[in-house]
Structures are given as C-alpha cells and as structure tokens.
Amino acid sequence: MTSPPLIEIYDIRSEKDVAIFSSKLPSDIISGLSESQGQRTLPSECLYDEIGLKIYNEVVSTWKEYYPYKAEMGIWKQWADDIAHSMSRVQAGGRAVIIEFGAGSLDKTSLFLSALAGTCTSRENTPPITYYALDLSRSELDRTLSDLQNNIGQDVSGKIALKGLWGTYDDAIRILTTNEGNFDKEIPIHILFLGGTIGNFTKGTHDSAFLRSIPLNSERGDTLLLGLDQAKDPEMIERAYNFESARPWIMNGLLAAGKALGKPGLFKDGHWERYAKFNKEMGRFEAGYVSKFDQTLDVPTFGPVLFSSGEVIVVSCSNKYTEPETERLFDDGHLAVVKSWLNEEYKYLLCLLKTKHT
C-alpha cells in the first residue's frame, strides 16, 4: 500500500525565535493588567498556548449545548455543495487557493473539502486546488492535517493539495499582502474564517478593521467565507458557553500569562475563579477570572497591582450581532455579501463576502 504523501507545513512566522506566543504578548498582558480596577483584561492569546489549544479542540465538539459548532456543522452538512460551487474557480483554468484562518480541529473542513473536490472533473498530477490550514501550533497542525489526510485523502487526491501555514492571522495577512507566499496572481484566493471568531474582536472597531486588513482581489474572484453569530436569547448563549468542561481551558490562560511574563506562579492557584457571563449591555459573552479576595500581584517589570475581592479580568469575549450591527460590520469592512446560509435554529450565519468597490 502506498503511503500518503507528507503534508508540507510552511513556517510563516515573522518571529521565529519565539515559541507559540508573539513577542508583544508580555507588553499586552502588562497593559491590560495596568488598567483601572474593573477594566482589567488579559489578551485572548493567553488561551491558545499548546496546552490551551489541545484542551479547546477536545472540548468544543463534545459539549452538546455549544451551538456555534453544531450550527456550522449543520450548515455544512446541508449546503456544503452549494458553498463549494459558489466559490469562483472559473479563472486560471479552474484553479483556486483556500486558506483557513485558525483551522482548529478541521472537522467542518473535511465536509467542505469533500464537496469542493466534487467540483473537479478529474484527478491531476498537480491538483488544481491548494488548501492551507493556518494555526498557531506546529504540533496541532501536524496532528489535525494528518487526521484530515487519513479521513479524506483518497477523496481529494489529485484534486486538492493539503498544506499547512504555521503562524498568526497577521502573518497570513502579511504573506498575502506582500505575496511572500508566491501565490499565482491569477488564481482566486478564498479565505475561511469560521467558528464566529470575528466576534472575539472588539465590536464596532477592531472587527471591521480586521476584515479590512484581509487583502481580497474581487476582480480575480477572491472571497471571504465568514461565520457570524447573531443576537439571540441570552439563556441559550449562557448554556452554550458557561459549561464546566471549559473551565480547564480558561484557567490555563492564567498559567500561560504567568509563563509569558517569566513568572509561572504569578496567578496563584486558589486565588482566582472562572468568570463566565453574558453582558447584555455590550451584546457579548465574556470569559475571564474573578479575584476570590483582596490581593496584590507583583507584575514583572511593572510592579504591584491591587485586585479587590470579586474584581473581574476579562480574557475573551464573543460578540453576538444584531442585523444592523451585521450590516455595519460589512459596510465598515468594505465587504459585500455574495451569498449567505443561515442556521435558523441557532441564528447563525455563514456569509460569502467579496470586496465592495468604493
């Protein structure tokens, strides 16, 4: 039996001398902790060290109330063929490049790629489509791409080449903007940004700025496939996000923050509890940490920071968009909707977007 081909993983990190975290993480941590009481934060990057990524990928798909995963899977199961056919491959002989930002476990990806392979009429020595999974962790890329190859390798052979990009969103945007990736300028590039991850950015500012930063060329058929979580019953959101098995993932963020500052024991065991609550005023679910009593952190290179009992540090948020907010997001992001698919049960959207001419 012929062994499956080795999957190429390209190191696109701008900072190759650092581990999984960016070099600016320590300063971002200090900046968030130095805010006034009640406004303190930690960067969400703290949740995604190798331990955090592993916990996240194992937990999300197993929690039955976590509707974003179920909603997207439902959309893919129902409309994968339609989504695949909606992405332009008419230019450059039917070739295309697919890049998935924050690829994760690749469960949904396998449904999409199988459908996309169905748009190819024959198998070729050089597959007409190249798929790149982007992730922060090299080890997770190795694992998930190997699983993907084992699951659908035969289906996509000669149709889709499977590859990996090791780096951050910013790294991927850089190589697209400067074409350090040496992509053929005539071949459409389709970006997948799934899981409602756009909701992790600050609503109304950073979310639209991030969308504007993605270099899409509408003339050659570039698109962005975006997962977007709509506003809904707060009780459904609370059930989805406030589950006990997510606690180790959130709490690992404190250990990761300490490690990034060179002081793993900065946030002492037993001094903090998990925080998880839907913020109705801001239309977002918040996750973080609650100080169990008055305490002082001796933050390296900064100094003492006093926390009051019950004070919250927010490490992550997930925005839920109303229809006007969705329209404003796309308008501010200079994007137009090509087509969309809605999971009505959970009010969750997949939107195929292209650059809006201004």
pLDDT band at 93 (very low <50, low <70, confident <90, very high): low
Stretch 337-350: mean pLDDT: 96
Q: For residue 2, is pLDDT > 60? A: no
Distance CA 191, CA 62 (A): 26
pLDDT at 19: 54
**Lowest mean pLDDT: which of 85-94, 149-158, 269-278?**
85-94
What's the whole-number average pLDDT of the chain? Answer: 90
Stretch 258-264: mean pLDDT: 94
Residues 199 and 286 in one domain: no
pLDDT band at 60 (very low <50, low <70, confident <90, very high): low
Residues 136 and 36 in one domain: no
pLDDT at 20: 55
pLDDT at 121: 86
Domain that holds residue 35: 25-54+234-319
Residues 127 and 274 in one domain: no
Angle (CA) 85 208 43, round 5°: 110
Domain count, the chain: 2
pLDDT at 341: 98
pLDDT band at 18 (very low <50, low <70, confident <90, very high): low
Q: Give the residue, 240 or 352, on which the prediction is more confident.
A: 352
pLDDT at 94: 85
Distance CA 256, CA 263 (A): 10
Q: What is the pLDDT of residues 198-230, one digit of tens each?
A: 999 999 999 999 999 999 998 889 999 999 999
- This prediction has a pTM of 0.89
Q: For residue 103, is pLDDT > 90? A: no
Q: What is the CATH number of the domain that holds 345?
A: 3.40.50.150
CB atoms within 10 A of CB 309: 10
**Residue 13 domain-assigned (yes or no):** no
Residue 299 φ then ψ, to 5°: -80, 120
pLDDT band at 21 (very low <50, low <70, confident <90, very high): low
Residues 106 and 178 in one domain: yes
**Residue 81 domain-assigned (yes or no):** yes
Residues 327 and 311 in one domain: no
pLDDT at 1: 44
Helix (H, G, I), strand (E, B) or coil at 95: coil
Helix axes 67-86, 107-117, angle to 10 degrees: 20
Stretch 36-63: mean pLDDT: 85
Beta bridge partners of 274: 289
Give burial (CB, 10 Å; 0-12/13-18/19+) of 46. buried
CB neighbour burial string for 236-250, b if at least 16 within 10 angstroms, e if fewer = ebeebbbbeebeebb
| Nearest by Cα to 145 from 168, 164, 131, 126 | 164
**Lowest mean pLDDT: which of 152-161, 237-246, 274-283, 333-342?**
237-246
Residues 227 and 261 in one domain: no
State percent of the chain over pLDDT 70: 94
Stretch 70-95: mean pLDDT: 85
Residue 306 φ then ψ, to 5°: -90, 130
Helix axes 25-33, 247-260, angle to 10 degrees: 110
The residue behind tokens 């003339």 is 219
**Residue 6 domain-assigned (yes or no):** no
| Nearest by Cα to 320 from 278, 274, 276 | 278
Residues 78 and 135 in one domain: yes
Helix (H, G, I), strand (E, B) or coil at 80: helix
Residues 174 and 227 in one domain: yes
Q: Determine the distance from the C-alpha atom of residue 326 to the mean position of all C-alpha atoms in its chain, rounded to a whole number.
A: 18
Residues 310 and 325 in one domain: no
Q: Six-digit token pair at 317?
A: 């948020």
Helix (H, G, I), strand (E, B) or coil at 53: helix
pLDDT at 63: 77
Helices (H), the chain: 25-33, 50-59, 67-86, 107-117, 138-156, 169-178, 206-213, 234-241, 247-260, 323-332
Distance CA 120, CA 117 (A): 5
Q: Give the residue, 91 or 353, on which the prediction is more confident.
A: 353
Whether the Cβ atoms of residue 57 and residue 48 lie closer than 8 Å to each other: no
Q: What is the pLDDT of residues 81-90, one digit of tens each?
A: 999 999 876 5
Stretch 65-89: mean pLDDT: 90
pLDDT band at 24 (very low <50, low <70, confident <90, very high): confident
pLDDT band at 22 (very low <50, low <70, confident <90, very high): low
Residues 181 and 244 in one domain: no
Distance CA 358, CA 350 (A): 24
Q: For residue 150, is pLDDT > 60? A: yes
Q: Give the residue, 15 or 178, on which the prediction is more confident.
A: 178
Distance CA 50, CA 137 (A): 6
